[in-house]
C-alpha cells in the first residue's frame, strides 16, 4: 500500500528564508526527480521474503528458534537535507507488508536541485501523523485501541518460537507508541517512533534508494530479546515498547 | 469516398437507433454509510459492471427466483434468507436434493468492501461476479445447467425485456446473470446497528457493552480486534485468513486446499461480526449453536496445531480464561453490532 500526501513543508525556517531570497537562482536549478524507495529484508546476511515464512529457520541472539508468520510496518515522513542543512520534508507514509508482498517500495516526484542530500525517514508515525485518521490503514486493520491512546501500529511482527519447554508458542512483537495505562488513562513515557538515517545519497533525475532491514536486529542490539519472557501482550507494556525502540535503531540501513 | 462512407455509417447508426428502442440504464451508485465513509476505503465496483437501477432490480429478481435451479425448487434466497441477514440456520447448507454441503451458509452484506475480493470461507471465489457461477451448477446446491438456465430465461415472459433494459443489446448469458446478481449483492449494506449509532454519537453504550468492547480490544483478554476489526474498521472483519484454533487436525483444509500450501491448512476467512444475532450456528461448519459456545471456545477451548495463528494465546491452557462477567459483557457488546433495519429493507421484489 503506497500513500503519498504531497503536504510538503520546509523543516527549517532558515531554509525558507534562503529559498525566498534566492528563489530566482533556485528556480533555474530545479529539476524533476523521482525518488524510488524499496525495502529488502534480511536475517543477518540471509535474504528474507514471505517465501521464508512459516518455517522455524531463524535463530535469535538469545538462541530462540523462530518462524515468521506475519510482518508489516509503517515508514513515513521522508526528509532530504542538502549540504547547507537546508531540508524538505515529505508527508508521506507507506505500509510495508512483507506477508502479502505489497508495499515493498514507493516512489514520489518533486522538483529540486540535483545534488547530494542526507536522506532520512521515520519508522512508524510521529505523534502528529499518528493522531490522523487513515482510511487505508483502518481498512488494513492496523489500528491501536483507543484505550492505548489510539493511532496505529508501527509494526506487527507475529510468529512462533520454540519455548523453554520445547513447544511451539506464538509471539506478537507489535511496536506502537509506548503507553502506560496503569493509572487508568493513557500516559506516554517517551516517543518510540524513530528516525532512519540513510546517510548521504546523490539524488539525480531518477534515484533508487534501497533500504535494508535486518530483522535479526529486532532481537539483538542492544537488548538480547528473551522471547520466553516477552512474547505477547506487549502493546500495553511500555517497557517492552522502549526495548523495541532501542533495538529498532540498528535494523535499517542503506543497501549498498 | 471518405465522405460517402461517413454518411453511410451515419445512416446505419441512425437506422439502428430507430428500429431497436435503445435504452440507457440509469446509474445507481451505492449509498455509502457515514461510518464507512468516515473510516474506510471506498467499495470495490468493477469497471465493467457499474451499478444501475435496472441491473440491481434484475439481480434482485434473479436472486429470489427458483428459475436458476435444476428442478425449480431453490433460489439463492433458499439458503441466503433475508430475515437471517442472508444466511440460514442449518449448520451446513442443504441443496435441492436435500444433500448437505460441508460449509455453513455465509451471510451476505458489505461484500463490496471485501477489498481483496476473495470470497467464500476459503477464498476460492475470486470476485462477486464469478462466485455466482458456482452455486447454480453445484450438484449439492442448485444442481442446474447454465445452458438450460439461459434457455429458460429467454423463454420467460419478462426476463428478455428486463435483461435488455439492464444490459442493452446483449444476448442473455451466464455472464449477464452474474453481473446483475453481483450488482444486487453490492447493495446489501448493513451499517445501522446500535454500535454504528454510537460511533455517530447518537446513542451511548451500557456499562456492560462498554466493558465488552474493552475485552474485545484488550490484548490481554479478548484480543479480537487484530482479526475482527474495530471502531475504526467497522466492517468488523479483516477479510483475511486465519486458523483460530478450532481443531488439532483438519477434516476441511480451508485455504490450504485452494493454495496447496500446507502452511495454509485450517485457515478460513474471518467472518464479519455484524448481525450475529441472525447468523447462528457459527464457524465454517456451523459447529457452535450459540455465542456462549463461541466465547467459551475462545476462552478455554483452543486446539493447538502447526498453523494456529500466533495471535491465539495460552493455547496450552485452552485460552486466556475470561471471567464470566467478561464473557457476558463481550456477548453484550457483540450484539450491539446487530442491525434489524437491514432485514426490513432487503426483501424479495414485489
A chain contacts of residue B309, beta-carbon cutoff 8 Å: 69, 158, 170
Nearest-by-Cβ selection for A69 from B41, B235, B310? B310
Q: What is the mean pLDDT of residues B31-46?
A: 97
Residues of B in contact with A149 (CB under 8 A): none
In angstroms, the CA B80 to CA A181 distance is 45
Residue B348 located in a structural domain:
no
Look at residue A176 and tell me whether its pLDDT is greater than 70: yes
Asked if the structure places residue B199 within a domain, the reply is yes
Helix runs in A117-207, H state only: 127-130, 135-139
Average pLDDT, chain A: 91
Q: Are A77 and A122 in contact (CB under 8 A)?
A: yes
Total structural domains within chain B = 2
**Pairing verdict, β B241-242 and B268-269:** antiparallel
pLDDT, position B21:
57
Are A218 and A227 contacting, i.e. CB atoms less than 8 angstroms apart?
no
Which of B144, B171, B189 finishes a domain?
Answer: B189
pLDDT in tens, B219-258: 999 999 999 999 999 999 999 999 999 999 999 999 999 9
What is the value of pTM for the model shown?
0.92
CB B287 within 8 A of CB B91: yes
ipTM summary value: 0.90
Lowest mean pLDDT among A11-15, A55-59, A249-253: A11-15
Q: Determine the Cα–Cα distance for residues B6 and B1; give it in Å rounded to an integer.
A: 9
Buried residues in B246-262 as b, exposed as e (16+ CB within 10 A): beeebebbbbbebbeee
Nearest to A170 among B230, B232, B310 (CB): B310
Answer whether residue B225 is part of any domain: yes
Together in a domain, B180 and B201: no
Q: Is residue B14 in some structural domain?
A: no
Strand partners, B268: B242
Cell of A97: 507488508
Residue B251 is assigned to a structural domain of this protein: yes
Element (H, E) at A90: strand A87-97
B250 with B129, same domain: the answer is no
For residue A117, the tally of other CB atoms under 10 A from its CB is 24
Which pLDDT band holds residue B98 (cuts at 50, 70, 90)?
confident
Q: Is residue B153 part of a domain?
A: yes
Residue B158: CATH number of its domain: 1.10.760.10
Do B146 and B207 reside in the same domain of the chain? no
Average pLDDT on B29-36 reads: 96
Residues on chain A touching B195 (C-beta within 8 angstroms): none
Q: Which of A46, A121, A118, A57 shows the shortest CA–CA distance to A91?
A: A121
Query: How far is the alpha carbon of A2 from chain B, nearest alpha carbon, in Å?
Result: 14
**B72 lies in the same domain as B201:** no
Question: Domain range for residue B267?
Answer: 194-341
A14 lies within 8 A of chain B by CB: no
Strand ranges inside B192-339, DSSP E: 241-242, 268-269
Indicate whether B155 and B214 sit together in one domain.
Answer: no
Last residue of a domain, one of B189, B205, B222: B189
Residue ranges per structural domain of chain A:
2-254
pLDDT > 90 in chain A, percent: 86
Closest chain B residue to A158, measured at CA? B310
Q: Give the pLDDT confidence score for residue B187 in this predicted structure.
A: 97
Q: Are A176 and A191 in contact (CB under 8 A)?
A: no
| Inter-chain Cβ pairs, chain A and chain B, closer than 8 A | 75
Q: For residue A233, list chain B residues with Cβ-Cβ distance below 8 A.
A: 219-220, 313
What percentage of chain B carries pLDDT values higher than 70? 93
Amino acid at each position: 500500500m503506497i500513500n503519498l500526501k504531497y503536504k510538503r513543508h520546509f523543516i527549517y525556517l532558515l531554509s525558507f528564508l534562503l529559498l525566498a531570497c534566492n528563489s530566482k537562482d533556485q528556480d533555474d536549478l530545479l529539476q524533476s526527480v523521482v525518488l524510488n524507495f524499496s525495502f529488502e529484508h534480511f536475517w543477518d546476511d540471509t535474504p528474507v521474503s514471505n517465501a521464508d515464512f512459516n518455517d522455524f529457520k531463524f535463530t535469535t541472539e538469545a538462541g530462540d528458534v523462530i518462524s515468521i508468520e506475519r510482518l508489516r510496518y509503517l515508514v513515513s515522513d521522508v526528509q532530504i537535507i542538502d549540504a547547507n542543512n537546508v531540508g524538505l520534508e515529505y508527508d508521506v507514509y507507506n505500509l510495508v507488508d512483507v506477508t502479502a508482498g505489497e508495499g515493498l517500495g514507493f516512489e514520489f516526484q518533486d522538483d529540486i536541485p540535483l545534488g547530494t542530500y542526507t536522506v532520512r525517514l521515520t519508522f512508524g508515525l510521529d505523534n502528529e501523523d499518528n493522531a490522523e485518521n487513515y482510511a487505508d490503514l483502518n481498512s488494513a486493520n492496523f489500528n491501536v485501541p483507543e484505550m492505548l491512546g489510539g493511532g496505529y501500529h508501527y509494526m506487527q511482527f507475529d510468529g512462533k518460537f520454540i519455548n523453554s519447554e520445547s513447544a511451539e508458542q506464538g509471539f506478537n512483537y507489535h511496536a506502537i507508541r509506548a503507553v502506560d495505562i496503569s493509572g487508568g488513562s493513557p500516559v506516554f513515557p517517551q516517543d518510540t517512533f524513530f528516525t532512519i538515517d540513510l546517510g548521504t545519497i546523490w539524488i539525480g533525475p531518477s534515484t533508487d534508494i534501497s533500504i535494508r532491514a535486518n530483522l535479526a536486529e529486532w532481537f539483538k542490539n542492544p537488548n538480547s530479546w528473551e522471547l520466553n519472557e516477552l512474547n505477547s501482550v506487549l502493546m500495553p507494556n511500555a517497557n517492552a515498547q522502549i526495548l523495541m525502540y532501542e533495538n529498532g535503531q540498528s535494523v535499517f540501513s542503506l543497501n549498498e | 469516398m471518405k465522405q460517402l462512407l461517413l454518411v453511410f455509417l451515419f445512416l446505419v447508426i441512425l437506422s439502428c437507433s430507430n428500429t431497436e428502442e435503445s435504452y440507457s440504464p440509469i446509474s445507481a451508485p451505492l449509498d455509502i454509510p457515514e461510518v464507512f465513509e468516515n473510516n474506510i476505503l471506498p467499495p470495490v465496483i468493477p469497471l465493467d459492471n457499474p451499478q444501475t437501477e435496472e441491473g440491481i432490480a434484475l439481480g434482485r429478481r434473479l436472486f429470489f427466483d427458483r428459475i436458476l435451479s435444476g428442478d425449480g425448487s431453490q433460489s439463492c434466497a433458499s439458503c441466503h434468507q433475508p430475515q437471517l441477514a442472508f444466511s440460514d440456520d442449518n449448520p451446513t447448507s442443504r441443496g435441492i436434493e436435500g444433500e448437505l454441503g460441508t460449509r455453513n451458509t455465509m451471510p451476505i452484506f458489505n461484500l463490496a468492501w471485501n477489498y481483496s475480493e476473495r470470497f467464500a470461507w476459503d477464498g476460492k471465489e475470486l470476485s462477486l461476479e464469478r462466485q455466482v457461477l458456482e452455486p447454480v451448477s453445484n450438484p449439492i446446491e442448485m444442481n442446474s445447467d447454465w445452458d438450460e438456465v439461459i434457455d429458460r430465461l429467454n423463454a420467460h415472459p419478462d426476463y428478455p425485456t428486463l435483461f435488455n433494459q439492464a444490459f442493452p443489446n446483449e444476448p442473455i448469458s451466464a455472464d449477464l446473470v452474474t453481473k446483475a446478481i453481483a450488482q444486487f449483492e453490492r447493495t446489501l449494506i448493513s451499517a445501522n446497528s446500535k454500535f454504528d449509532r454510537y460511533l455517530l454519537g447518537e446513542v451511548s453504550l451500557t456499562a456492560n457493552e462498554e466493558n465488552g468492547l474493552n475485552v474485545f480490544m484488550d490484548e490481554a483478554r479478548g484480543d479480537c480486534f487484530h482479526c475482527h476489526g474495530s471502531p475504526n474498521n467497522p466492517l468488523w472483519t479483516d477479510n483475511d485468513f486465519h486458523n483460530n484454533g478450532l481443531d488439532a487436525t483438519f477434516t476441511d483444509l480451508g485455504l490450504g486446499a485452494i493454495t496447496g500450501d500446507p502452511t495454509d491448512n485450517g485457515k478460513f476467512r474471518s467472518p464479519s461480526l455484524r448481525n450475529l444475532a441472525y447468523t447462528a450456528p457459527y464457524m465454517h461448519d456451523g459447529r457452535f449453536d450459540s455465542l456462549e459456545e463461541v466465547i467459551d471456545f475462545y476462552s478455554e477451548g483452543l486446539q493447538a496445531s502447526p498453523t494456529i495463528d500466533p495471535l491465539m494465546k495460552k493455547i496450552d491452557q485452552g485460552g486466556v480464561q475470561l471471567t464470566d462477567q467478561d464473557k457476558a459483557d463481550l456477548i453484550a457488546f457483540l450484539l450491539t453490532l446487530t442491525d434489524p433495519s437491514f432485514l426490513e429493507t432487503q426483501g424479495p421484489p414485489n
